[in-house]
């Protein structure tokens, strides 16, 4: 707030008093009568030197909200004089609280005049939304008068500025009328009004809101309305919401790279949070493609946060290998975002095969780049508890991310059968692409029988 220009020693205390009086006056607006002859308390405001503005009654108050009493006119005149000698807000400055308090007092007496002045002189009070704030106060106190005024308003720009406030008040009892007003808006005002209207409408009458959303002509408006209806519906009946949005969608999910923020993605996320198995069944029954894959990923991420073991157990029973792999990999990856070691442990519980190796490989790829020493400790622990089966999966996954660190770890193990098995697994993994390096690992195997077997295997592969 701009500091008042000093004129004498008692002015600063007057500012504090004026702020308190203005606050009490504003809070009393809802029960005050603008036509009353009651004299308002004297307001002491510091006058600021600056550019004079045209604040004559005719230039400001194009349309009066109600006939004004002599005392009200006198008070407004005092307020106008105070506003006229205030400096405009400079770029980068905060809102002028003194100017806003004066306009609130004016709005108690003549809301239309105060609103028009606030809209025309934003540089005086510094708030783009202040005219709407004054109008909302008027609607709270005298809704019929406020609505009658805005309906006959000749200032199209101000009307568009105030319509969102009108719409938010109408949606409760007259949502259809509120929608018609919304369609008058353009740009961001239209987008915000559609969002607010359908979120409120869906909360009060989900079926009517859904029908209205589907009937909108503009594809962008329709998609926005459907999204708000669907997400509101999903709060209490996600299965019904998913059924509706799946049938209602008019855009191509396969072309929407931001699947999580589509209506379908948002509803599915809520459904999976409440009943992941039902949501997963819905996703599995969908047509294959981009959308189906993302639905499975969304469900898996939600399920992983609740009960990853149950998710993996469910996925392991699926007949389709592609679906089984997609859910299991997504569950492991989701857990790995928060706790990579827990995710790696869980990956080792999967049946041997490509899903287990792929999941573990994705985890170790990120883990080795951030903390290779921690990977070595983890691998040693798994070797002790999981034996050769765990070792083979670890070696294949680790070799793809950091073969040098893997070799260092294997050489650190004491001479033993597990160490030889690790050498053999690494040699077989490297054989097709790096035969010379694979041969070195074969030579490192202490067990002659295992060494010969591994060499023959690599020879066959080559």
pLDDT digits (tens, 9 = 90+) for 284-324: 877 766 567 778 878 888 887 788 878 877 877 777 777 77
What is the pLDDT at residue 177? 84
Sign of the CA dihedral running 398, 402, 407, 413: negative
In a domain, 109, yes or no: yes
> Which of 36-45, 86-95, 236-245, 439-448 shows the highest mean pLDDT?
439-448
Confidence of residue 22 (pLDDT cuts 50, 70, 90): very low
In a domain, 407, yes or no: no
The whole-chain average pLDDT of the chain stands at 77
What is the pLDDT at residue 104? 95
Structure tokens at 390: 């765990």
Confidence of residue 57 (pLDDT cuts 50, 70, 90): very low
Mean pLDDT (whole number) for 107-113: 93
Structural domains counted in the chain = 1
Confidence of residue 449 (pLDDT cuts 50, 70, 90): very high
In a domain, 121, yes or no: yes
Domain interval for residue 115: 1-169
pLDDT in tens, 237-287: 888 888 888 887 655 544 444 555 677 888 888 888 888 888 888 888 777
223, pLDDT greater than 80: yes
In a domain, 151, yes or no: yes
Mean pLDDT (whole number) for 370-378: 88
In a domain, 39, yes or no: yes
In a domain, 65, yes or no: yes
What is the pLDDT at residue 154? 81
In a domain, 344, yes or no: no
44, pLDDT greater than 70: no
Mean pLDDT (whole number) for 211-225: 89
In a domain, 224, yes or no: no
Q: Closest by alpha carbon to 25, among 108, 148, 87? A: 108
The contacts of residue 41 (CB under 8 Å, 6+ apart) are 21, 25
What is the pLDDT at residue 386? 64
What is the pLDDT at residue 66? 58
């Amino acid at each position: 707030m701009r500091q008042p220009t000093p004129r004498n020693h008692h002015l600063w205390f007057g500012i504090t008093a004026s702020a308190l009086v203005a606050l009490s006056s504003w809070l009393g607006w809802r029960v005050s009568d603008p036509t009353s002859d009651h004299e308002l308390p004297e307001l002491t405001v510091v006058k600021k030197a600056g550019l004079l503005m045209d604040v004559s009654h005719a230039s400001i108050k194009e349309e009066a909200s109600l006939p004004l009493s002599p005392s009200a006119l006198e008070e407004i005149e005092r307020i106008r004089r105070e506003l006229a000698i205030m400096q405009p807000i400079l770029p980068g400055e905060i809102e002028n609280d003194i100017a806003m308090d004066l306009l609130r007092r004016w709005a108690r007496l003549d809301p239309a005049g105060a609103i028009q002045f606030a809209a025309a002189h934003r540089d005086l009070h510094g708030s783009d939304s202040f005219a709407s704030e004054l109008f909302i106060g008027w609607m709270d106190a005298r809704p019929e008068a406020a609505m009658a005024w805005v309906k006959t308003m000749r200032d199209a720009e101000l009307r568009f500025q105030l319509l969102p406030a009108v719409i938010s008040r109408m949606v409760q009892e007259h949502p259809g009328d509120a929608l018609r007003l919304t369609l008058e808006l353009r740009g961001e005002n239209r987008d915000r009004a559609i969002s607010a209207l359908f979120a409120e409408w869906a909360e009060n009458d989900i079926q009517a809101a859904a029908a209205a959303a589907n009937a909108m002509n503009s594809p962008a408006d329709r998609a926005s309305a459907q999204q708000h209806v669907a997400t509101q519906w999903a709060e209490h009946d996600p299965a019904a919401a998913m059924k509706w949005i799946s049938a209602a969608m008019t855009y191509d999910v396969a072309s929407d790279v931001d699947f999580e923020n589509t209506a379908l993605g948002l509803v599915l996320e809520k459904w999976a949070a409440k009943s992941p198995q039902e949501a997963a069944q819905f996703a599995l029954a969908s047509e294959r493609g981009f959308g189906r894959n993302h639905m499975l990923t969304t469900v898996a991420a939600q399920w992983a946060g609740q009960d990853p073991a149950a998710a993996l157990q469910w996925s392991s029973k699926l007949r389709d290998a592609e679906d089984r792999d997609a859910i299991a990999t997504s569950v492991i990856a989701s857990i790995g975002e928060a706790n990579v070691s827990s995710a790696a442990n869980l990956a080792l519980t999967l049946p041997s095969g490509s899903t287990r190796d792929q999941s573990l490989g994705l985890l170790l790829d990120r883990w080795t780049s951030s903390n290779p020493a921690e990977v070595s400790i983890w691998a040693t622990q798994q070797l002790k508890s999981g034996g050769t089966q765990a070792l083979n999966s670890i070696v294949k996954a680790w070799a793809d991310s950091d073969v040098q660190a893997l070799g260092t770890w294997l050489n650190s193990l004491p001479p033993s059968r597990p160490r030889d098995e690790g050498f053999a697994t690494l040699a077989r993994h490297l054989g097709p692409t790096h035969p010379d390096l694979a041969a070195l690992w074969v030579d490192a195997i202490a067990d002659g029988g295992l060494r010969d077997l591994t060499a023959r295997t690599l020879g066959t592969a080559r």
